[in-house]
Amino acid sequence: MAILVTGGAGYIGSHMVWALLDAGEDVVVIDRLSTGFRWAVAPQARFYLGDVGDETVLRQVFAENAIEAIIHFAGSIVVPESVADPLSYYENNTGKTRVLMSAALKAGVNRLIFSSTAAVYGTPDVAEPVSETAPLRPENPYGQSKLMSELMLRDVAHAHDFRYVALRYFNVAGADPQGRTGQSTDSATHLIKVACEAALGKRRSVSVYGTDYPTRDGTGIRDYIHVADLVEAHLCALAHLRRGGTSLVANCGYGKGFSVLDVLNAVTRAAGRPIAIEYGPRRAGDAAFVVADASLARKELGWVPRHDDLDRIVETAIAWEARLSHDVSNDIGTLRRRLAASGF
Ligand SMILES: NC(=O)c1ccc[n+]([C@@H]2O[C@H](COP(=O)([O-])OP(=O)(O)OC[C@H]3O[C@@H](n4cnc5c(N)ncnc54)[C@H](O)[C@@H]3O)[C@@H](O)[C@H]2O)c1
Ligand SMILES: O=c1ccn([C@@H]2O[C@H](COP(=O)(O)OP(=O)(O)O[C@H]3O[C@H](CO)[C@H](O)[C@H](O)[C@H]3O)[C@@H](O)[C@H]2O)c(=O)[nH]1
């Protein structure tokens, strides 16, 4: 039996594929390569170029592979884009999740792990770690589209023989400690990615969005989780579903908050040289403090994080960024030529 990873050519999905292969699993990937890269998919995985909203390709995937469970990463993830074009987010994140679930039920696949987000909570009322029972008040179409998918999963699990785990990720960062994959998107806006690019001279400076938050140094506080621990939580969720565990929704974070300045200091330490910092106004829609209460994932899924260290997260992110500058551009050229030769 194989695990189907949707969005397996993307940042988190490509780490998941490696983690599954490392664990001895058989892996099938479907990705339309809108933000992902074919070269990011481990060669041992079977790859389908296609859209998770395309019933024909889904039927083909389910017919050609014995799929035991789905790990569903495919989606659109840029918050301001979701505000500007909400319908495309409801279509790609909610509508296509519906198509995928429908095709899975028809094919008799009844286990799914879903990529949700801390954005479903909106701005927490108090500066305290947020648990899964906190009010759900997404403040943008991205968060809303993910919450709607969670609700579909809940209802389908009530109506059918179907179990799921929805993981609400906090701030995912870092790269595979073995250097096999990392965050490769060109126009990423995430703080650690941006700061690593600045440290390597790929951009002139980093802007600090707001210095007047009610936090210890005036900058925004987030819970940064190493992507390797995040994919480990998915392996725990898979084991939970395999042993007959009930459907559940769980936060993925460390429960520790770091400010923007903490992150920039860590990047400076890792790079061994200062980065240019510009202090600017707040970015619209940013909360002061977003930190997970992740006790449920530890208790129910037996998740034990192994990379809970901001310096380590940043070191792996910089190492990947450096590789991306040198090797990967060559790899992309090689891969493009290989794919062109094989008809893509
Ligand atoms: N990166 C984060 O900090 C973060 C935080 C919370 C939740 N998430 C969720 O995790 C998941 C993965 O995020 P990521 O950071 O790896 O993003 P990403 O953009 O790197 O990966 C998404 C992948 O899905 C593919 N894709 C998108 N729509 C598709 C479709 N309709 N059919 C087939 N493939 C499609 C893209 O080509 C890409 O390879 C997303 O669902 C995102 O909402 C990410
Ligand atoms: O160039 C930058 C980028 C970010 N920040 C600050 O750094 C912190 C982190 O910002 P990111 O853009 O890295 O991440 P967000 O917290 O905005 O968003 C993340 O967390 C959300 C949930 O809270 C969603 O899951 C979303 O997908 C995920 O990217 C914020 O205080 C932000 O204001 C800067 O100061 N400068």
In angstroms, what is the span from residue 266 Cα to ligand 1's centroid? 26
Sorted by where each starts, the structural domains of the chain and their CATH numbers stand as 2-341 (3.40.50.720)
| Predicted pLDDT at 327 | 55
pLDDT of res. 71: 99
The CA-based angle 143-146-148, given to 5 degrees, is: 110
Average pLDDT over residues 102-109: 98
Closest alpha carbon to 128 in 289, 10, 9, 302: 289
Q: What is the pTM of this model?
A: 0.95
Cβ contacts of residue 284 below 8 Å, gap of 6+? Answer: none
Ligand 2, atom nearest to 260 Cα: 7
26 Rama sector, left if φ>0, alpha if ψ -120 to 50, beta otherwise: beta
**Ligand 1 center to residue 74 CA distance, Å?**
5
- CA nearest to 262, candidates 251, 277, 284, 282: 277
Q: Which residue numbers are catalytic? A: 142
Exposure string of 124-147, with b = 16+ CB inside 10 Å and e = fewer, is: beeeebbebebeeebbbbbbbbbb
> How much is the average pLDDT of 261-272?
97
pLDDT-derived band of residue 311, with 50, 70 and 90 as boundaries? very high
Tell which one of 39, 115, 290 to mutate to probe ligand 1, the residue whose CB is within 8 A of the most ligand atoms.
115
pLDDT of residue 186: 81
Atom of ligand 1 nearest to the CA of 142: 43
pLDDT tens digit sequence for 74-97 = 999 998 899 999 999 999 999 999
Shortest-distance Cα residue to atom 4 of ligand 2: 191
pLDDT tens figures, 10-46: 999 999 999 999 999 999 999 999 999 999 999 999 9
pLDDT tens digits along 107-145: 999 999 999 999 999 988 888 999 999 999 999 999 999
- Round the average pLDDT of the chain to a whole number and report it: 94
Across 74-85, b (16+ Cβ under 10 Å) vs e yields bbbbbbeebeee
**Does any ligand 1 atom lie closer than 6 A to the CB of residue 11?**
yes
- Establish whether residue 115 lines the binding site of ligand 1, counting it when its CB lies within 6 angstroms of any ligand atom: yes
Give the mean model confidence (pLDDT) for residues 293-301. Answer: 97
CB 7 less than 6 A from any atom of ligand 1: yes
The mean per-residue pLDDT over the stretch 314-331 comes to 80
Q: How far apart (Å, rounded) are the C-alpha atoms in residues 24 and 216?
A: 45
